Structure 1
Amino acid sequence: MMAVALTLTLPLTAHAAELEEIIVTAQKREQSLQDVSLAVTAVSAEDLLRSNISSLENLQHRVPGVTFGNDFAFAKLFIRGVGLNSSFAGIDPSVALHVDGAVVAQAAAQFASLFDLERVEALRGPQGTLYGRNATGGSINLVTAKPTQTFGGYTNVSIGGSDLSYGLDSALSGPLTDSVLGRVAVHYQHHDGYGKHTGSGKDIDDLNVIGTRGHLQFKFGDGVDLLLSGEYAKEDDHTKSVHFIGPMFPDPPLPSLRATGLPNVSPNSRNAGGDFRPTFESETWAATATLTVRMSDATSFKSLTNYREFDDQLTQDFDVSDTVNGNFPPAPTSTTQLQAIGDDQFSQELQFIYEGDRLHGIAAAYYLTESIDSLVLLGRDPVGQPARSRVIVPATLDVDAWALFTNFTYDLTKLFSIKAGARYSAEKRTMENHFAVASPVDPAAVYDPERRASRDYSNFSPELGVELRPADGVMLYATYSEGFKSGTANLGERVPNLVNPETIENIEAGLKSWLLKDSLMLNIAAFKYKVEDAQYDRTYAITAPPFYAARLENAATTDGKGVELETSWIATDHFKMSFAGTYYHIRFDKFLSQNPINPALFGPGGSSLPPEDLTGNRPRNTPDWTAELSATYEWPLTSGASLALTGAVSSRDKQYYTEFNDEVTGQDGFTLYDANLLYTGAGGKFTLNFWGKNLSDEMIVSGIYVTSTARTITGTYLPPRTYGVTAGYKF
């Protein structure tokens, strides 16, 4: 499948009303997007700029099958109903994020800023035979803009909105010597808060992000190329904290630890209370070396070496009221939380790429080592007095993983090709934690003995497929593939529990076509899959305070099937349209669990109640249908300049944020309206873009979490209506 947003980026000219060919590297070699026999979307840098898309959260309404939410500063990327179902460190995302092919391993680090990119590629379905890291749901690859042979660059400045947003994106690129090219880019983005902290009156859900990236490319001749890349990003604001949705259940049996009825409690509001204003800080830097050696016209070798460090810290109050619920000691009822994550990762990938007359593909070896540190504190003042917290959970997880994978296509004839791939994965995971908790009579939190757990995992995943080209511009394909996500442990548990791997079997068939003299693109994909041993955080009732405990388990089996349609059409030299729609039927085939918001668990006989049967429920972040429509009309001006007006409508069916599909933990179906008016000066160097997003100012929940510590239901929201103007200049 191709991108819903492609028509927004394809040029309209008076000379040729046909769609432009898009070149991608989704299968680790350059191909036309229409020749890739899998469901892949490509969104260009021009569309990202025109639509003011600067984050993956914004991107989800331009890429079919993708949803993006967050809770507790963990990115929740889902593709076709497969994604991360935990809010603790240590669990791999089911959708992998890559920057130029190098993985960003932890979900907490997946809040990527989209700046100075050539394109974004989103692959749907398991991708273990193409990418180094495991990915059961899919993979998103950010392809950065590379150094150019000629000197040039750009600067884009944005300002607007009642939230006083402003930003800067700029890049400079060109030759440094005859054999050395360079590029440097900077990104800054700021907006005031979308809401207020009711206790202090200060902004929350604001944004303050800065990032930079640099490339040095050495061309040694004889087909040898070395690209050295470095990037740095920092965020320091008051975002990613939760808002009050409602109490877990009415009083009794257990009251929500909030000041019920007080004016500082703001249900379903962009404002939020708390003992203090929430804060979020993150910092990451990465270095990548990509060596490419072209050994012949048909063969090449690539080495991809990456090192990345990431640290973040979120502080918030679970009860989201301004009333202090208790001090510690002696009353350990405080619900303020500090969560800090540190991650160091190193990966090495070696690729052999063959591009012959009939045989095309890749064989590769991959290694990853990762060290994750997690610290969770619950207490009255976890920042100023961490040692006096009532719950202290320091934990580490070390990962050593390697894999061999291959994927080749052989053209039996010009009409028919076969495709085969395989992956062998092996991992070792070692966890240590040192849990401490206080009861009401303890003067301080008492540590359990240090606990350590270790386990080895391995998996073999095949892929088989066929491609048929019955006519020019038409390809039919069918594939069978399997995927694997390593077993792991939840770094928030008292007793380490290394669970089994999560696996998927996926069958997909599709059509890719150019029609009407290449003025119409029509793509259809249909899939059916089964996920087994899906990894879920399960909350269950206990008899002692805080009356809940969490455990990571292989809790569910999921059956999914669906159809995806994308089309782009240049109706005239000046008018073009695109449409994308998805229809999914993704349900649990087996899932037994206790619902933490069921008050009967805490009434008479509650401890003996059997778990609920969730068979037939939807997974999290999975609407049954989505639809996106966009249209652009361009007016050429006599001066050589042009105006282009684009309108976009994005609709989604109801979706849920817990597996129990309760109304209070779901989001009703919604429709978002975006628009922009782009002025391009004669020669194309100067642009002025007036843009607006969520024009009807819908209030959309992007994630919901049942915070059992405070016995409240909390959530996060998508941005409100935003608008502004971006002035750009290329040179």
Structure 2
Amino acid sequence: MSSYVGLAALAAALSSAASAQADIAAQATTAVSAAEVAEIVVTAQKRSESLQKVPLAITAITASELERSGIRDLQGVAATVPGLNLGEQLGVAKITLRGIGLESLQPGAEGSIAFHVDGIFISRSVAALASFYDIQQVEVLRGPQGTLYGRNATGGSINITTRGPTEELSGYASLTAGNYNQIVAEGAVGGAIIPDVLSARVAFQTQDHDGYGKNVVTGNEIDDLNSRAIRGSLRFTPNDRLTVDLKADYYRRSDHSGGYHYLGGGAFSAPGVPITPFGLTLFGGQAPSNRRDLANNVDPTNRVRFWGASGRISYELSDEIDLVSLTAYRKLKYQTLSDIDSTSAPIAPIYQAEQDRQFSQEFQITGNHDRLNWLVGLFYFNENDRGQLAIPFDNFAFFPPPTNYLTQGYWGGGFIKTKAMAVFGQATYKLSDVLRLTVGGRYSTEKKRALDQFLFDVATPFDASTPANLVLQPPAGTISQPGSERFNSFTPRIALDYQVTPDVLLYASWSKGFKSGTYSLGTLSPPVNPEKVSAFEGGMKSTLFDRRVRLNLAGFYYKYSDLQVGKVEDQSTVLENAATATIYGLEAELQVRPVERVRIDANAAWLHARFDEYVSRDLARPFGDGTTLINGNPAFNLAGNTLSQSPNFTFFAGAQYTLPTGAGDFTLRGEISYRDRSYLTAFNVPYLSQPSFAKLNAFLNWTSVGEKISGSLFVRNITNKTTVSSAYVSSGLFGFPINGYLEEPRTYGATIRYAF
């Protein structure tokens, strides 16, 4: 509670400071000074409003901020958002926000952070790793968003808005070249086809770079990138009341990224007795001497393709009431290949594949009256997701000695068909000129029908002529278990905000979040229970000292029940319900324009994310903690452990200085990000963690007179830190190797851009 007392004291002090300088601000000229922090408009509550007037913890990253720091993906965004962490495993994004995120990589797994593009919910986490291009704004809503967003938003929501068509001819072209033979080309062009009636925009991006490491067995590069993307949009405005926006996009990636990196033995089969992976002992294989490299008998592959189309129809029923319809269809397919034993021995490749199609329809009616803003809506979602995880392996563990040929091994997969419906509403009423009350709620019902399929076959030879990552048909002998379950929930929200001065807002809220139960395909286990959270949040949003300072603070307290936690058991990742977890913390975001040419931006987050009750087995340490049992089996009492990917403290700061010249403006910018130790599993063992680290970036940006041409020289991760984004202990069948993924090494290069 002392943290909240400190927050309240700081808010009161800043409110007093704001009042003291209000008279000065009132006498200021109405012209916008170049030394002011710019106002940001967000759509977090599904209507356009100032960031500083929304009683939510939101980070908004504008197009200009993305460009100045060369941010093209969620990894770049993560450092600039308090409490946001991003990992990766087999090409799937593991997004964590305030300690809550994706815990399973089994086919059909879903995260707890909702991901939206142009208002459309994107179910599959693999799509979140696609690159950004022609982006208008990125908004990250922290905390449960159960009322307006609902599905899979117990931890928060990431909303990406792309640029739409304009009446005037406009666009840009840019080219980036860097080390590792990086080449990124992107551009867009748009304008009116029929003035004031029909306009269009087309944008594209290509990305290529060589590998950050190599497979020392084959000599080929790994962790390279080859992607292509295109998006088209049309805007039809036949009259002043009706607007129709149509968008379609396509993305494909095909390279040798996403392979497991060998991070050592480290696991213990008995107290104090380390296990060396069998690929290095029984098979006499090798492991790479450099973490960036692999020593695999096969090269990793990563193939992703998805496309989608959406339509947004907005109609003004009256001057105060609008009707909006959002319709979308999306299709995705991805295939990955890696080596789960992480050595050069031919023991166990791992194939993962998924095919998904989703349809969604949302209707919204919004009203804007004198003292009341309101929104009611209906949401429908239909998804058919089919996936598999296949691990053919040498059967030496069952029929020694090593045979040097693969058997069918493990195959797990099936399908999950989801139908979700929701009705929701929210209203904000002005109790007075400075006090507003917001009340909202959402009723969700979700039915999942699954076919869970499993095979463990150590006798039948694996047919390498039909690799498992290219087909989604189960092998002969597969055990199938059908299942069906319905999950219902009501998630309310209530918030109160007080406009202390025109530039200082205080707010407090209580809300609930819900993530439906689901199946872990390939495990033949019953569905986990829904994940639920009750959340309290309070904060302050302020713009101080003649709009030269923007300071936003937030404090939060969460109580989770039936938290869905993933862990490795044998060859698969199993979801199970932790009993309860408590999460609380403080966050701060700061922007300062002390003088016209200088800009400083920073954020910091302190997070306490702990299990209250959680007992689980760790097959890499089968003797448990010596006192805890589950069904008579040794286990660990994890109460008090930190949730995975939840560092206690994170910090980011950027500073820049702009020098005007006759050739244009030159801006020198530096950035530093710091992240405390992150445990990568709930067991909180040191060998499955990333120790604290700091990273440095530097930029020299230039904008020509007239602002049509711009350029940038950049260096990211200046000190070339090698950091782990996710890791786990693999199966005991292979000697418990530790597999993981690494963040990018030092990269540098130059960008030139022309806008019109």
The TM-score normalised by the length of structure 2 is: 0.89
Deviation at 1:112, TM superposition (A): 2.5
Secondary structure of the residue aligned to 1:110 is: helix
Equivalent in 397, 408, 411 of residue 389 of structure 1 = 408
Task: Write the distance in 2 (CA, Å) between the matches of 1:17 and 1:279.
Answer: 49
The TM-score normalised by the length of structure 1 is: 0.92
Corresponding position of 1:424: 443
Secondary structure of the residue aligned to 1:450 is: strand
Equivalent in 495, 498, 505 of residue 468 of structure 1 = 498
Equivalent in 411, 417, 429 of residue 398 of structure 1 = 417
Task: Write the distance in 1 (CA, Å) between the matches of 2:437 and 2:268.
Answer: 60
- Say if 1:653 and 1:253 are closer, same or farther in 2 by CA, change over 3 A: closer
Consecutive unaligned residues of structure 2, counting only runs of 5 or more, are 1-6, 8-30, 395-404, 464-474
Task: Kindly indicate whether the alpha-carbon contact (under 8 Å) linking 1:503 and 1:534 is maintained by their aligned counterparts in 2.
Answer: yes
Equivalent in 407, 417, 420 of residue 426 of structure 2 = 407
Letter in 2 for 1:649: I
Equivalent in 741, 746, 752 of residue 721 of structure 1 = 746
Corresponding position of 1:675: 698
Pair 1:514 & 2:557 matched: no
TM-superposition CA deviations, 1:461-520 (whole Å, max 9, x none): 110110101211110000000000010001131x14212100111000000011001111
Residues 201-350 of structure 1: pairs in structure 2 closer than 5 A: 201-247=219-265, 249=267, 256-260=277-281, 264-266=286-288, 269-324=291-346, 334-350=347-363
Pair 1:173 & 2:190 matched: yes
Task: Write the distance in 2 (CA, Å) between the matches of 1:242 and 1:125.
Answer: 31
Task: Kindly indicate whether the alpha-carbon contact (under 8 Å) linking 1:689 and 1:727 is maintained by their aligned counterparts in 2.
Answer: yes
State the identity as a percent: 34
Task: Kindly indicate whether the alpha-carbon contact (under 8 Å) linking 2:393 and 2:406 is maintained by their aligned counterparts in 1.
Answer: no
Equivalent in 389, 406, 413 of residue 376 of structure 1 = 389
Secondary structure of the residue aligned to 2:666 is: strand
Task: Write the distance in 1 (CA, Å) between the matches of 2:150 and 2:129.
Answer: 21
Task: Write the distance in 1 (CA, Å) between the matches of 2:460 and 2:435.
Answer: 75
Secondary structure of the residue aligned to 2:194 is: coil
Equivalent in 150, 161, 166 of residue 148 of structure 1 = 166
Task: Write the distance in 1 (CA, Å) between the matches of 2:624 and 2:583.
Answer: 31
- Say if 1:533 and 1:437 are closer, same or farther in 2 by CA, change over 3 A: same
Task: Write the distance in 2 (CA, Å) between the matches of 1:507 and 1:267.
Answer: 48
TM-superposition CA deviations, 1:530-560 (whole Å, max 9, x none): 11101122445xxxxx6x7653221242101
Corresponding position of 2:689: 666
Corresponding position of 2:612: 589
Equivalent in 707, 721, 737 of residue 712 of structure 1 = 737
Corresponding position of 1:625: 649
Task: Kindly indicate whether the alpha-carbon contact (under 8 Å) linking 1:497 and 1:552 is maintained by their aligned counterparts in 2.
Answer: no
Equivalent in 512, 517, 528 of residue 557 of structure 2 = 528
- Say if 1:15 and 1:122 are closer, same or farther in 2 by CA, change over 3 A: closer
Pair 1:489 & 2:519 matched: yes
Equivalent in 328, 348, 351 of residue 364 of structure 2 = 351
Task: Kindly indicate whether the alpha-carbon contact (under 8 Å) linking 2:712 and 2:752 is maintained by their aligned counterparts in 1.
Answer: yes
Deviates more, 1:443-452 or 1:14-23: 443-452
Secondary structure of the residue aligned to 1:676 is: strand
Task: Kindly indicate whether the alpha-carbon contact (under 8 Å) linking 2:285 and 2:343 is maintained by their aligned counterparts in 1.
Answer: no
- Say if 1:337 and 1:443 are closer, same or farther in 2 by CA, change over 3 A: closer
Secondary structure of the residue aligned to 1:310 is: strand
Corresponding position of 2:209: 191
Task: Write the distance in 2 (CA, Å) between the matches of 1:158 and 1:112.
Answer: 18
Corresponding position of 1:331: none
Task: Write the distance in 2 (CA, Å) between the matches of 1:273 and 1:436.
Answer: 28
Secondary structure of the residue aligned to 1:372 is: strand
Task: Write the distance in 2 (CA, Å) between the matches of 1:424 and 1:694.
Answer: 45
Task: Write the distance in 2 (CA, Å) between the matches of 1:530 and 1:437.
Answer: 39
Pair 1:97 & 2:115 matched: yes
Letter in 2 for 1:32: S
Task: Kindly indicate whether the alpha-carbon contact (under 8 Å) linking 1:152 and 1:174 is maintained by their aligned counterparts in 2.
Answer: yes
- Say if 1:670 and 1:550 are closer, same or farther in 2 by CA, change over 3 A: closer
Secondary structure of the residue aligned to 1:58 is: helix
Deviates more, 1:620-629 or 1:608-617: 608-617
Equivalent in 39, 52, 76 of residue 94 of structure 2 = 76
Task: Write the distance in 1 (CA, Å) between the matches of 2:58 and 2:625.
Answer: 48
Letter in 2 for 1:164: N
Task: Kindly indicate whether the alpha-carbon contact (under 8 Å) linking 1:582 and 1:626 is maintained by their aligned counterparts in 2.
Answer: yes
Deviation at 1:73, TM superposition (A): 2.2
Task: Write the distance in 2 (CA, Å) between the matches of 1:568 and 1:443.
Answer: 58
TM-superposition CA deviations, 1:10-43 (whole Å, max 9, x none): xxx9953211111111110000110111000110
Task: Kindly indicate whether the alpha-carbon contact (under 8 Å) linking 1:198 and 1:264 is maintained by their aligned counterparts in 2.
Answer: no
- Say if 1:442 and 1:180 are closer, same or farther in 2 by CA, change over 3 A: closer
Task: Write the distance in 1 (CA, Å) between the matches of 2:476 and 2:231.
Answer: 45
TM-superposition CA deviations, 1:672-721 (whole Å, max 9, x none): 10111111111000001111110110001011022215321110011000
Task: Kindly indicate whether the alpha-carbon contact (under 8 Å) linking 1:132 and 1:349 is maintained by their aligned counterparts in 2.
Answer: no
Residues 450-461 of structure 1: pairs in structure 2 closer than 5 A: 450-461=480-491
Secondary structure of the residue aligned to 1:439 is: strand
Task: Write the distance in 2 (CA, Å) between the matches of 1:300 and 1:654.
Answer: 48
Deviation at 1:222, TM superposition (A): 3.2
Letter in 1 for 2:543: W
Task: Kindly indicate whether the alpha-carbon contact (under 8 Å) linking 1:311 and 1:342 is maintained by their aligned counterparts in 2.
Answer: yes
Task: Kindly indicate whether the alpha-carbon contact (under 8 Å) linking 2:106 and 2:572 is maintained by their aligned counterparts in 1.
Answer: no
- Say if 1:522 and 1:449 are closer, same or farther in 2 by CA, change over 3 A: closer
Corresponding position of 2:469: none
- Say if 1:14 and 1:224 are closer, same or farther in 2 by CA, change over 3 A: closer
- Say if 1:698 and 1:550 are closer, same or farther in 2 by CA, change over 3 A: closer
Equivalent in 116, 120, 144 of residue 126 of structure 1 = 144
Letter in 2 for 1:429: K
- Say if 1:645 and 1:254 are closer, same or farther in 2 by CA, change over 3 A: closer
Deviation at 1:391, TM superposition (A): 2.1
Task: Write the distance in 1 (CA, Å) between the matches of 2:481 and 2:369.
Answer: 54
Task: Kindly indicate whether the alpha-carbon contact (under 8 Å) linking 1:253 and 1:599 is maintained by their aligned counterparts in 2.
Answer: no
Corresponding position of 1:48: 66
Task: Write the distance in 2 (CA, Å) between the matches of 1:666 and 1:126.
Answer: 26
Task: Write the distance in 1 (CA, Å) between the matches of 2:333 and 2:42.
Answer: 32
Task: Write the distance in 1 (CA, Å) between the matches of 2:568 and 2:341.
Answer: 18
Deviates more, 1:668-677 or 1:440-449: 440-449
Deviation at 1:257, TM superposition (A): 2.9
Corresponding position of 2:400: none
Consecutive unaligned residues of structure 1, counting only runs of 5 or more, are 2-12, 325-333, 541-545
Equivalent in 556, 568, 572 of residue 591 of structure 2 = 568
- Say if 1:410 and 1:255 are closer, same or farther in 2 by CA, change over 3 A: same
Letter in 2 for 1:627: F
Pair 1:701 & 2:724 matched: yes
Letter in 1 for 2:487: Y
Task: Write the distance in 2 (CA, Å) between the matches of 1:553 and 1:378.
Answer: 22
Task: Write the distance in 2 (CA, Å) between the matches of 1:408 and 1:511.
Answer: 21
TM-superposition CA deviations, 1:242-291 (whole Å, max 9, x none): 10011253687965232249683026600012121010100000000000
Task: Write the distance in 2 (CA, Å) between the matches of 1:635 and 1:25.
Answer: 34
Corresponding position of 2:125: 107
